[in-house]
Chains A and B, each alone.
Chain A
Amino acid sequence: MRQFIERHTFWAIVIAVVAALFLWLIAAVWPDWLIDALGRKKTFVNTLLNGITLGGLYFLVASGFTLVFGLMRNVNLAHGSMYLLGAYIGYEVAEASGNWFLGLAAAFVAIGLSGMLLQVLVFRRMEGDDLRQTLVTIGISIIAADLMLAVWTGTTYQFQPPEWLFGAASLPVVSVIKASGDPVYIKYPVYRLSVLFVAVAVGIGLWLFLNRTRVGMMIRAGVNDREMLSATGVNVQLVFALVFAIGAGLAGFAGVVGGTALSIAPGEDLRYLLASLIVVIVGGLGSVTGAAIGALLIGLAEQFGLAYFPTYGVVLTFLIMVVVLAVRPQGIMGER
């Protein structure tokens, strides 16, 4: 943090100003001129929270993607298919057992295993060959999308999550003061807040895993010098299969989490693949912190675009990408 401020004083100031502005916008009761300019405060706060929670969801998907790519240089463009397959499997299990959490676990395990299979059968055979990996995984995602369409048809599915996760919580944020003087508090769905909570927990967990555990150390060493790591007696292939399983499992996990917040339908695979692509391009390939920053930026851009200028909303996401690439081609947290 302190290092960052010293090295990038200008950006630190910009970030601090923007953060302060947002905090003021959330905390203050809006004066009339602001309401005239931006609309009701409730819309703004809801959009902000939607953006942050969507960013959390994007982080869950993109962190797995960036973990696999950044550490093993495996380009898995079937990551979106894993998200969708995880959602479907989780749905089936949750429906059959009546337990939402069982669905969540099943999605994580099943997609983790299929990811491990993919690593052993496909990626191990074409190590270091980005383009072929890309093409093969595109082929796999085309087939997977079509087969999922055949099995689960074009219907939209909706989860039945546990009740205590649903409903709205009253936030300690005042939207307007009534004529009588009573403050009106903003309400927000509990589930979306818990998505954010889970995303933060997963992010911290990943960081601790990579930076504070022995296996994480092995993984980072293997990225830098695979031969040397295997010479020290570590089973490199086993470590990499494990990482792939975690990355893929996260996609399946996110499938259930995202499928509950929104819905499951064909085409979602591409949406989340693209979200993870843009997130890691903006954040920097291979950096979990970068994925978090990128996911937050893209989630906010998408929601604010949708709320305030719907027809050109996409352009905002795109602009962020172009600006980041122009300034830092390797992404915000990327290293060259």
Chain B
Amino acid sequence: MNARSLFSGRHSVSDIHPAAIATVVVLIAYPTFASDFFVFQIGAYSLILGTIALSLMMLAGYGGMVSLAQMTVAGLAGYLVAILGDNSVEVMGLDWPWWLFVPTAILGAALFSAFVGAVAVRTEGIYTIMITLAIAVAFFYLVRQNYVLFNGWTGFAGVEPPTLLGVYWRDPVPFYYLSLAVAGFFFLAVLYASRSTFGLGLQAIRDNPRRMRALGYNVTLHRIVAYFLSGLIAATAGVLFVWFNGRISSGSVGVGIVIDILVIAVIGGIRHPVGPFLGALAFVLLENFAIDLIDRERFNTVIGVAFLLVVLFSPDGLIGIWHRIRPRLRIGGSTRSKSGRVERVDRHAAGSLEQT
């Protein structure tokens, strides 16, 4: 799988796993054989949710900080797009040009993420989850009650992506490629960052903050920067998210979807950037097709049970399941001992879901 070859640290062209190339080819060729529904509602939506979950994966997997405010950051970016750009609700809508409001929205939301980080990083573990959850909910109640800026319960509708180069970007195929480009860019960026000095420092801080502090690293600053970078990812996905829906309201940043992002990241696996996208695909497929199996009303039970099973039986999510069955499929594989060692080391990491 592409996961392994990219994870190993070396990356020359010959090192790229055939499966990675095949995946890229399938992703690019996808609209040629899929219907509009599958391209837009399944493909693009999975990529957007996957990108938001990717920002959580980066924080949780490399930084050991489980933030539940990632959807809030994405939602703030979406709100900023509706407020600074144009909407059909006659509230706000400053009508800035897109090249101004898109960077402003992303940067503004990323700064908010850094602020969330600054509040949360002073504490650790379960505290981080609680604080970020509290921030997420405070934001939800704020946008629901505030009519001057956020237009309360109803929020904004008619938020359209700009028409550029003669292309209407909300058509399924262009929008899919836009989402794919964003998702692909951040996927590679997170992979690259994880091997950079900064990323390695972050992982070392996750494993042993006291030692890193003793070595002279500014642990708090590292963590806040990680929040800022993850905010950039979530915010960019948030801009796509509001264009995808064409609307944003308090429900878009509600507790349900905030937790869904965590569910997605955990179902996929938070060890590797591929995880969130696998999780998002599984989530979107379940969301769309679980109704064929059971009553639509009981979707939450299905997703809850799926989540519970994954947490209980495969702490590494879907990636973990793959890693566990792979040695059985390939007898005497040369990568086996290596992957075994990697997993043992990770098991002791602070951010690991593995039982210690």
Contacts and interface: CB of A to CB of B under 8 A. Distances in A.
Interface of A: 69, 75, 126, 128-132, 134-136, 138-140, 142-143, 145-147, 149-150, 270, 274, 277-278, 280-281, 285, 310-315, 317-318, 321-322, 325-326, 329-330
B138 interface: yes
Interface stretch (B29-37, B298-306, B326-334): B298-306
A138 B138 contact: no
B123 A150 contact: no
25 contacts: A132-B355, A135-B262, A136-B311, A138-B262, A139-B305, A139-B308, A142-B304, A143-B300, A143-B301, A146-B298, A146-B300, A146-B301, A149-B297, A150-B297, A150-B301, A280-B130, A281-B127, A281-B131, A311-B148, A312-B142, A313-B145, A315-B142, A318-B135, A321-B138, A325-B131
A140 B308 contact: yes
A132 B127 contact: no
Interface string B135-149: 101100110011110
A145 B305 CA distance: 12
B119 A126 contact: no
B195 to A, nearest CB: 24
B353 interface: yes
Contact of A281 (B134, B297, B315, B356): B134
A129 B349 CA distance: 12
Contacts of B300: 142-143, 145-146
B184 interface: no
Given A146-B298, A312-B146, A325 B123 contact: yes
Question: 3 tightest A-B contacts by CB?
Answer: A142-B304, A139-B308, A143-B304
B204 interface: no
B224 interface: no
Contacts of B311: 132, 135-136, 139
Interface class of chain B by DSSP: helix
B244 to A, nearest CB: 24
State which size class the interface on B falls in. Answer: 35 or more
A308 to B, nearest CB: 13
B122 interface: yes
A147 B301 CA distance: 7
Interface class of chain A by DSSP: helix
B259 interface: yes
A133 B355 CA distance: 10
A325 B138 CA distance: 15
A322 B119 contact: yes
Contacts of B353: 131-132, 135
A321 B301 contact: no
Nearest to B64: A131
A285 B123 CA distance: 12
A142 B298 contact: no
A142 B303 contact: yes
B133 interface: yes
A318 B138 contact: yes
B80 interface: no
Contacts of A145: 300
A310 B131 CA distance: 23
Contacts of B290: none
Given A131-B353, A134-B129, A312-B146, A139 B138 contact: no
A33 B127 CA distance: 44
Nearest to A330: B123
A145 B297 CA distance: 12
B259 to A, nearest CB: 6
Contacts of A131: 66, 125-126, 351, 353
Nearest to A270: B255
Nearest to A321: B134
Contacts of B66: 131, 134
A312 B149 CA distance: 11
Contacts of B146: 311-312
B312 A136 contact: yes
Contact of B126 (A75, A143, A147, A312): A75
